[in-house]
Amino acid sequence: MWEKALEAPRIPSIFKANRPKEFNYKPYYYNAEKEERELRNKRIRSELDRENEGGVEFRSRLRERWEQSNHARKKANSSNLRLIVIFILLLGIAYFILR
């Protein structure tokens, strides 16, 4: 901020002098495993700190398992679809070559 005020005045010129761009870039790194681990630790601590409240722990575990199985199912479906598309493309190429 004060660097601009302390610079010597510039002589007007027809040509623009290229200066490096200044910016404050702070990289942001997202670690999904770390976030899941922290959520599990938080849940476990809360379970240890309080008494069993009926089904809260069961629901949280059920939700976690549901998300894991849903993710695995989506991954398997996308893999199968990719294999089918590749197989159809190979059949089409073979048809045009052997025709």
How many distinct structural domains can be found in the chain? 1
Which residues are within 8 A (CB) of 57 and not within 5 positions of it... i.e. 6 or more apart? 43, 47
- Residue 16 domain-assigned (yes or no): no
8 in a structural domain? no
* Residue from 48, 70, 45, 47 nearest 58 by CA: 47
The reply to whether the predicted model has a pTM over 0.85 is no
Tell me, yes or no, whether 7 lies in a domain. no
Question: Could you tell me the CA-to-CA distances from 2 to 10, 17, 24 in Å, in that order?
Answer: 17, 21, 16
3-state helix, strand, coil in the chain (%, to 5): 65, 0, 35
- For the stretch 4-23, pLDDT in tens is 666 766 676 677 777 777 77
Determine the structural domain holding residue 62 and report its residue range: 30-98
For residue 24, is it within any domain? no
Does residue 37 fall inside a structural domain? yes
CB-CB contact of 60 with 43 (8 Å): yes
- In this prediction, the residues of the chain whose per-residue pLDDT falls under 50 are none
Instruction: Give the Cα separation of 34 and 36 in Å (integer).
Output: 5
Q: What is the pLDDT of residue 3?
A: 62
pLDDT the model gives residue 60: 74
